[in-house]
Amino acid sequence: MRALGTQLEIIESPDGKISKSVIDTMISRAAEIAKEPNTFFTNQLSNNDMLNGFEQLGKEIIDQLKGMLIDAICDSVGTAGTIMGISRAFMDSNRPQFVALEEGIFAGTSTGMNVTGAIEIAKLLGPNKNVVVVACDTGLKYLNEGLFD
C-alpha cells in the first residue's frame, strides 16, 4: 500500500488475534478517518456494491468456461465478499464455469494459499474435474519484505 502512496495506520490486536472487538475498532477508526478531506471509506463488511462487483467476476468465470462445469472452488476468506459474490453468479447460472491461473502471475501469499489448496483439491477429485481458484492479491505489498528474494 505504501508503494502506491498510501499512509497506513495499523490497529494492533492485544493478543495478536482477530476478534469482533478488533474489527469494530478498525471500522470505527476508518469511519473517523473518512470524515477527513480526500478520503473514502469502502465499508467493505457492509457494502453490497462489493458483492455486485464479485458477482460480475463470477459471470466472467462462467463466460470463460464456455459450458464446462465447476467441480470445486478454492478461495481464502477475509470478508467473504469474493465467495459470496461469485456464488451469486453461479447460483443464477445452472452451468458454473472454471477459471485457471496461468503461470507468471505476480501474486501474493493469499493467492499462493488458494492455488496450493486448489491443487490439493484437484488431486482428491481426480482427472477431468474443474477447480476454480481466485487470485485475490498481488505480490506488490511483499516486495520490501523479502518474500520474492
Output the tens digit of pLDDT for each of the chain's 149 residues. 777 787 888 888 888 887 888 889 989 999 999 999 988 888 887 887 888 888 888 888 888 888 777 777 777 767 777 877 877 776 655 434 333 234 566 667 677 777 778 888 889 999 988 888 887 777 666 666 555 55
**CATH of the domain spanning 48-142:** 3.40.50.1100
Distance CA 124, CA 29 (A): 44
To the question of pTM greater than 0.85 for the whole model, the response is: no
Q: Which helix (H) or strand (E) holds 66?
A: none
- Do you know the residue count of the chain? 149
Intervals of CATH 3.40.50.1100 along the chain: 48-142
The three grid cell numbers given for residue 121, joined into one nine-digit string: 483439491
The secondary structure of residue 102, as a DSSP letter, is P
Contact between 58 and 87 under an 8 Å Cβ cutoff? The reply is yes
